[in-house]
Structure 1
């Protein structure tokens, strides 16, 4: 029997999706506070536990959504998401729900992990690299395609269509989607750019051209080496575009690459079959009107045994 996976959850990716996917009017606490993100997040976890049957789980959080070391390399990184008073632009009714999610995870017995100076992606990358396989990373963040590694194995469960319609991605799936292997995704993304992260890319170089360049030269380093060779055969227009972007290309891959060496505390990753603190979970369910999603998650945990 194949061993069960470690499920690594990109918590911000899921709770943002839950917040925007469930109307506030459909999920309120007794005092009228919206709990749509909490309700949706817990239901997503229940679905994942029921369908993936993990025996380990960790939820990763952003302790720094826009690390200084990335901004120093590329000032445009996520700059469009900075609030006028500083910090990330987050809906006013979402921010108060995050502590409730953390309280629920603690009561259930699922580790919630972050690290100063790093994003949730970096925590996921470190755990995917250092924890025993098999590993399944759950996220709607395309940058995490770079974590896919058939040799361990590490897969990305991409939630672009929702948790009920996961795209279960191995290296072949990444190649089919983008035309590059997973371990070249960061170079590909640097070339193509990503407006959602303030990553400009090389003007005039889209997905197809980026993939073709990676296929021909193997990596961004290979492309830049070939660019220095007058015999390399670049079309004049493309050579001009790449030459003009050299300064950007020197730093962009480091910005895009997920860190894999984040200092993390020792973790107990085993997923319980019953809540670690049932009294605290019951009190939380009553306070925030979460009885139904809590019950679905508790049932999923018990059924997995």
Structure 2
């Protein structure tokens, strides 16, 4: 069965930006370290995992208002400027911000489709496309939130980049179970209770990973845990009190934590294959302009080998 690779693109270009020296510049002095690094990352992924399709999932809205309305602290620490109309600006280093439009041009030149949707994050695009796919799916991300999509029965797995491109980890159901003591389909409830400071999610005070995992092992899901806590059964009185006290948070947090799987996007038919002569010429010209010719040649060779 063919394999689709879904890129959590921002996760990867941030990794490239911080992993490649900022001394890498184009002739006009523009930093292109994220650009070049991202293309090398994609080339390595294509070489290692041999997808027949690669899709760049995009943050058209990195902090959707509907999530903020539910939990106002959601990603607050990443906001650097409030602009007219109420939109928030994410903290992105200027040399990276300059490269983002060029990254989009580069991906387009390589026939790698970019999929995003207003009011949704890349995670939601990944989730929707993974749900739509009737094929094997590799999700490439450094964000453990996407562990909730792992599904061995459909061969949906995560290629986890948090430890670097030299230490990629294939995350399957067994890996999630081994790391956290919960099934992948329980991971969103687990993350809701645990919280995540990096996303501004407070979690249930006093309920850490171990307690959250034990509760899910004993009760199955968050709804059953809340019912048991209200009834004072199946857990200690202290834990039950913490769950009940967090009712306001638990009423809204699951909607924020769970990735949306019904965004109005379609799975693009984008087979990964060598570019036509004209396409290759245009891609090479862009690579020359932005000083990533060697990276482009490595990508082209990898595609030719698998094409």
TM-score, with structure 1 as normaliser = 0.96
Which residue of 1 is the match for residue 231 of structure 2? Answer: 229
Which residue of 2 is the match for residue 239 of structure 1? Answer: 240
**Does residue 117 of the first structure (1) align with residue 115 of the second (2)?**
no
Which residue of 2 is the match for residue 253 of structure 1? Answer: 254
Moved over 6 A (4+): none
Which residue of 2 is the match for residue 207 of structure 1? Answer: 209
Q: Distance in 2 between matches of 1:301 and 1:233?
A: 55
Q: Distance in 2 between matches of 1:225 and 1:269?
A: 46
Q: Distance in 1 between matches of 2:234 and 2:118?
A: 45
Q: Distance in 2 between matches of 1:281 and 1:150?
A: 37
For structure 2, which runs of at least 5 residues remain unmatched after alignment?
83-87
User: What is the CA distance between 1:167 and its match in structure 2?
Assistant: 0.7
- Residues 155-208 of structure 1 show CA distances to partners (whole Å, capped at 9, x for unaligned) of 011111123321111101110111110011110000000011001101111111
RMSD: 1.3
**Does residue 12 of the first structure (1) align with residue 14 of the second (2)?**
no
Which residue of 1 is the match for residue 263 of structure 2? Answer: 262
Q: Distance in 1 between matches of 2:169 and 2:9?
A: 18
TM-score, with structure 2 as normaliser = 0.95
Matches for 1:1-305 after TM superposition, within 5 Å:
3-25=1-23, 27-85=24-82, 86-230=88-232, 232-265=233-266, 267-274=268-275, 277-305=279-307
**Does the 8 Å contact 1:48/1:163 carry over to 2?**
no
- Alignment size in residue pairs: 301
SS across alignment from 1:289: coil
Q: Distance in 2 between matches of 1:233 and 1:133?
A: 40
SS across alignment from 2:294: helix
**Does the 8 Å contact 2:161/2:169 carry over to 1?**
yes
User: What is the CA distance between 1:265 and its match in structure 2?
Assistant: 4.4
Q: Distance in 1 between matches of 2:122 and 2:287?
A: 26
SS across alignment from 1:87: strand
User: What is the CA distance between 1:237 and its match in structure 2?
Assistant: 2.2
- Residues 33-55 of structure 1 show CA distances to partners (whole Å, capped at 9, x for unaligned) of 11111011000000001000111
**Does the 8 Å contact 1:273/1:301 carry over to 2?**
yes
Q: Distance in 2 between matches of 1:119 and 1:252?
A: 16
SS across alignment from 1:106: helix
**Does the 8 Å contact 1:4/1:53 carry over to 2?**
no
SS across alignment from 1:168: strand
Q: Distance in 1 between matches of 2:176 and 2:134?
A: 22
Q: Distance in 2 between matches of 1:21 and 1:244?
A: 43
**Does the 8 Å contact 2:132/2:267 carry over to 1?**
no
